[in-house]
Amino acid sequence: MNGLIKVEQLQAFYVLEAMGKKKTVKAVNNVSLNIPENEIYGVAGESGCGKTTLLKALFASIEPPLQLFEGKVSYRINGKFINAFTLNDQEKRELRWTYISYIPQGSMSVFNPVKKLKVTYLDFLESHVRGKAGQDLLSLARHHLEKLGLSPQVLEAFPHQLSGGMRQRVAIALSTLLKPQIILADEPTTALDVVAQRAVLQLMRDIQQEYKNTFVLVTHDMGIHANISTRMAIMYAGKIVEEGPTPEIFSQPLHPYTQFLIHSLPRIGDKTTRKSVPGAPPSLINPPPGCPFHPRCPEVTNLCKDKMPALNNSSEIHRVACWLRRESSGCHS
């Protein structure tokens, strides 16, 4: 199972300049991972853990104040891995929507408010497809929508005439219009109600099964990951602390933070008291030494306080970055 995107020792920090003081926010701190093919790859973590920055790096759109300090993100394009940061703007623009595309979080204001959706679709198509008349492009869009179970009539509407759920489905249809191999989704359903969210997740699952492409789904909601992601990475303070197939992550969470994330969620029918993670989220400006979770970890040791555990294999498909979990792989906590 070869990967589609390889990320090696990626370090992307925000350099903020305010009142003469320079602050660097270590949003993505030495991350290495492999985004597989034909998979829904979930990235879980809370606000401020760097998951959105990781998405920007995957999308190779690094603009100030975000700066790349180290590491590579390579796309596999017809068999060869190319470092995305070495591409010039024109090459990047061509890859957008044809190789890699993006689903925004709130679709409230993501479409041009004064144009019909048909025009927005044509803008995207005309910028990427050459030598085709407007009409053909339009029928291509209509066909694509029908295939996803959406009525092409929606193209004649203005964005403000659709409900939140419908707009998000139109955004997903747009992002999969040119059959890209990778689709990055940043909290695609957070702004939606639970019923609309279910419909949107269902649409994403159908698309993935239909086109065999890869979704990188970023959300803090573990329920969504359990529901749709096939493989998952948990991020904390700009680092990956655990990675593996979703069933294994939920049945055998190894990292203490993952255990908290899963066990702190209330479930209907089970009133056992739920404990949340003690302490406060870490500051990314001067992250704690050693393992970033140690100030909040109930099983903290001196080793955790001074050395950063590497992310290595507890089993060949399930990796964790924690000193206590390394040797005793497969132990149930």
Partner 1 sequence: MGALRDLFKDYRFAVGFFLLSFLFFLVIASFFSPYDPIQWLQVPRDKPPSWNHILGTNSKGQDVFWEATFAIRNSLIIALIAGLISRIIAILVGFIAGYKGGFTDRVLMGITDGLLVIPLFLILVLVAMLLREALTLVNTGLLLAFFGWAWDARTIRSQVLSLREREFTFTSVLSGNSTLSLVGKEYLPLTIPLIFSTLINNIAWAIGMEIVLAILGLVRLEIPTLGTTLQWAINYQAMLLGHWWWILTPVVLTILLLVALYWFSVSISEYLDPRIRIQRIGVK
Partner 2 sequence: MVATLKAQNLTKVYSLGGLLSRNKITAVDRVSFSVQPAEIFTLAGESGCGKTTTARMILGFEFPTSGKLYYEDQDVVGLKDKKAWFRKVQAVFQNPFETFNPLRKVECYFYETIQNFHLEKGGGRTQKLFEEKLEAVGLSLPDIAGKYPGELSGGQLQRASIARSLLTNPSLLIADEPVSMVDASLRMSVVNLFREMSDSLRVSVIYITHDLATAYYISDRIAIMFRGNIVESGPVNQVLEKPKHPYTKLLIESIPQPDPRMQPKTPIQFLEEKEEYLRQGCKFSGRCPEVMEICKQKVPEDISFDDVVVKCHLYHK
Partner 3 sequence: MRFFRDYFIPRIIQYLLVIFCGITAVFFIPRLTGQDPVLETIAQIQSQGSSLDPTAVNSLMGTLKELYGLEGTLFQQYIMTWKRIFTLDFGPSFFQFPTPVADLLKTYLPWTIGLFVTSTLISWVLGNILGGIAGYYSRKSWSKILDAIIMVIRPVPHYIFGILVLILFAYVWQLFPAGGMMLGRKTVLNLKFIMTILRYSFLPALTLVVLGGASWFQQMKLLVQNVKREDFVQYAQTGGVKERFIIYRYVLRNAMLPQITQLALALGQVFSGVLIVEMVFSYPGIGLLLYRGVTRGDYNLVMGITVLSILTITTAVLILDLIYPLFDPRIRHK
* Residue 131 backbone phi and psi in degrees, to 5: 70, 30
Of 162, 178, 300, 308, the one binding partner 2 by CB under 8 A = 162
Neighbour order of strands in the sheet with 3-18: 21-36, 3-18, 66-77, 80-83
Torsions phi, psi of 233, nearest 5? -130, 135
To partner 1, the closest distance from the beta carbon of 109 in angstroms equals 17
Question: Minimal CA–CA distance to 291: which of 311, 275, 313?
Answer: 311
Nearer to partner 1, 47 or 135 (CB): 47
Q: In what order do the strands lie in the sheet containing 312-315?
A: 100-103, 182-186, 214-219, 40-44, 231-236, 239-245, 318-320, 312-315
Question: Could you say which of 268, 312, 327, 332 contacts partner 2 (CB under 8 A)?
Answer: 268
Q: Which of residues 34-73 bind partner 3 (CB under 8 A)?
A: 59, 61
CA distances 181 to 90, 99, 268, Å, are 19, 5, 38
Compute how many residues bind partner 3; rule: CB under 8 A.
Answer: 32
Please choose which of partner 1, partner 2, partner 3, none residue 285 contacts, taking the beta carbon within 5 to 8 angstroms, the exact cut-off set by kind. none
Tally of CB atoms within 10 A around 195 = 8
Contact between 332 and partner 1 (CB under 8 A)?
no
Question: Residue 19 binds which one of partner 3, partner 1, partner 2, none, with CB within 5 to 8 A depending on kind?
Answer: partner 1
Please report whether residue 280 would count as binding partner 1 according to CB under 8 A.
Answer: no
| Residue of 257, 262, 259, 252 whose CA lies nearest to 328 | 252
219/104 Cα distance (integer angstroms): 12
Q: Tell me the closest approach of the beta carbon of residue 332 to partner 3, in angstroms.
A: 43
If one asks whether residue 160 binds partner 3 (CB under 8 A), the answer comes out as yes
Footprint of partner 1 on residues 15-44 (CB under 8 A)?
A: 18-19, 21, 23
Residue number, 15 or 119, with CB nearest to partner 3: 119
The contact set with partner 3 (CB under 8 A) reads 59, 61, 92-97, 101-102, 104, 106, 108-116, 119-120, 123-124, 126-128, 158, 160-161, 174
